[in-house]
């Protein structure tokens, strides 16, 4: 296999030895439309070191890539930056096959790995800021708790100035090109934002801490090498993603308003259309997303840089529709902030859905600007005019919030 699956040289002494997963589409609720990569890196220092591994079914691919540059037996150290199984799944096989001198992880990493696997060796716990001498090279570890899990840490390679950032700064994008600048810019930007929105949005306070730590460490960074998707190597790409993370963690609102809804017989969809007309007339950039047509993870991505959220559902069996329960559960966990908000929906006789959605918005701490807008059965011309006005009002509140 090593003649087919080869390591990709990053520097003479650093290789990418990960795996490409073209097929994956469901990533614990996140639609990975463009597949992904599981990145592992090999540092050919005096102490040969493997940084992270790949998802278990791809172990053979990783071993083949390693074997294309070095006999796996020669690897001295394995570093586990993140215990989640898409990065640790091949760790038991790696330990078995390589028999490394030591395996390193953060304190919480050692604990998490111990709960995942029955490993044949102890994990050596590294502390925040600890530097490991690899002979011809040095690496330093920095804890980045909750970016993405309690165990998450990043590893900095001094000589080549590479920051191995596990899930942080990553994206789900399959491809043979290893650098972000080799892809269509719009795709890279979208997938980076989608990754942040779906994986990290609710962890903003931890992102801030990690960015602050990076600032304090004042590292010279020539590359950001995450565990998913391409590496960033240009100054523009490196500064760009750090700035994007700072912007997203603040969730600064914009003039975009996302209307998320589901409809039974088209009435709530008609309301959404009229609300969209009002939002647009009121100066907002409206985006309508029917849950019969859109995926929850694309909704979250749109909300990441929005300033308003309007949410609607027909009342079915005295509650919201199942697709709305899905998206509100998912979105609620990701804790969107700084949004002007409103709820709406059509109903037949009881009409709980808009009220329940209004409560959901309120509980999230969003700026709910009006009573829920309800229409009995089918909206007539007067109802649609009210919907339009509802949209205008939410547009005004959204734009006003930008001036605060």
Partner 1 sequence: MGKYICDICGYVYEMGRGDPENGVETGTPFDEIDDDWVCPECGAGKDNFSPLD
Any contact of residue 359 with partner 1 (CB under 8 A)? no
Instruction: Please identify, among the stretches 67-75, 141-149, 260-268, 273-281, the one whose residues bind partner 1 according to the rule CB under 8 A.
Output: 141-149
Which candidate in 3, 12, 23, 28 is catalytic? 28
Q: For partner 1, which residue of 145, 158, 295, 359 counts as binding (CB under 8 A)?
A: 145
Nearest approach, Cβ of residue 205 and partner 1 (Å):
7
Residue 84 annotated among the catalytic residues of the structure: yes
Residue 172 annotated among the catalytic residues of the structure: no
Instruction: Please identify, among the stretches 11-19, 29-37, 42-50, 144-152, the one whose residues bind partner 1 according to the rule CB under 8 A.
Output: 144-152
Any contact of residue 240 with partner 1 (CB under 8 A)? no
Which candidate in 61, 86, 262, 302 is catalytic? 86
Separation CA 353–CA 371 (nearest Å): 13
Nearer to partner 1, 210 or 224 (CB): 210
Residue 195 annotated among the catalytic residues of the structure: yes
Nearer to partner 1, 93 or 364 (CB): 364
Q: For partner 1, which residue of 62, 95, 139, 146 counts as binding (CB under 8 A)?
A: 146
Nearer to partner 1, 61 or 143 (CB): 143
Nearest approach, Cβ of residue 207 and partner 1 (Å):
12
Nearer to partner 1, 152 or 267 (CB): 152
Nearest approach, Cβ of residue 116 and partner 1 (Å):
16
Name the nearest CA neighbour of 185 among 236, 228, 143. 236
Any contact of residue 150 with partner 1 (CB under 8 A)? yes
Q: For partner 1, which residue of 66, 79, 105, 108 counts as binding (CB under 8 A)?
A: 108
What amino acid positions are annotated as catalytic residues? 28, 82, 84, 86, 148, 167, 195, 228
């Amino acid at each position: 296999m090593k003649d087919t699956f080869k390591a990709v040289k990053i520097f003479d002494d650093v290789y990418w030895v990960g795996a490409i997963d073209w097929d994956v589409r469901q990533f614990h609720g996140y639609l990975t439309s463009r597949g992904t990569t599981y990145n592992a890196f090999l540092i050919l220092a005096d102490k040969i070191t493997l940084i992270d591994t790949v998802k278990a079914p791809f172990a053979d691919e990783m071993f083949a890539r390693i074997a294309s540059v070095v006999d796996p037996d020669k690897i001295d150290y394995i570093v586990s930056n993140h215990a989640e199984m898409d990065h640790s799944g091949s760790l038991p096989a790696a330990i078995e096959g390589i028999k490394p001198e030591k395996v390193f992880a953060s304190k919480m990493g050692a604990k998490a790995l111990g709960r995942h696997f029955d490993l044949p060796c102890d994990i050596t716990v590294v502390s925040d800021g600890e530097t490991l001498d690899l002979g011809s090279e040095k690496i330093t570890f920095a804890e980045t708790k909750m970016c993405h899990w309690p165990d998450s840490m990043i590893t900095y390679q001094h000589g080549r100035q590479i920051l191995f950032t596990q899930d942080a700064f990553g994206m789900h994008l399959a491809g043979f090109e290893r650098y972000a600048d080799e892809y269509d810019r719009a795709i890279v930007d979208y997938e980076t934002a989608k990754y942040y929105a779906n994986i990290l949005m609710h962890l903003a306070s931890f992102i801030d801490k990690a960015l602050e730590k990076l600032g304090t460490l004042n590292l010279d960074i020539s590359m950001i090498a995450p565990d998913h998707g391409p590496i960033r190597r240009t100054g523009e790409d490196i500064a760009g993603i750090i700035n994007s993370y700072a912007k997203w963690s603040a969730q600064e609102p914009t003039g975009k308003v996302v209307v998320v809804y589901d409809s039974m017989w088209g009435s709530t969809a008609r309301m959404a259309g009229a609300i969209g007309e009002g939002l647009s007339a009121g100066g907002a950039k409206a985006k309508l997303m029917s849950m019969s047509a859109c995926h929850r993870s694309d909704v979250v991505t749109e909300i990441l840089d929005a300033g308003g959220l309007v949410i609607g559902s027909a009342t079915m069996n005295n509650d919201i529709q199942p697709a709305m329960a899905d998206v509100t559960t998912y979105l609620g966990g990701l804790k969107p902030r700084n949004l002007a908000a409103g709820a709406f929906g059509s109903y037949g006789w009881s009409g709980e859905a808009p009220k329940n959605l209004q409560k959901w918005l309120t509980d999230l701490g969003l700026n709910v600007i009006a009573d829920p807008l309800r229409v009995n059965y089918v909206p007539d011309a007067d109802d649609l005019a009210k919907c339009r006005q509802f949209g205008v009002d939410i547009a005004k509140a959204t734009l006003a919030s930008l001036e605060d």
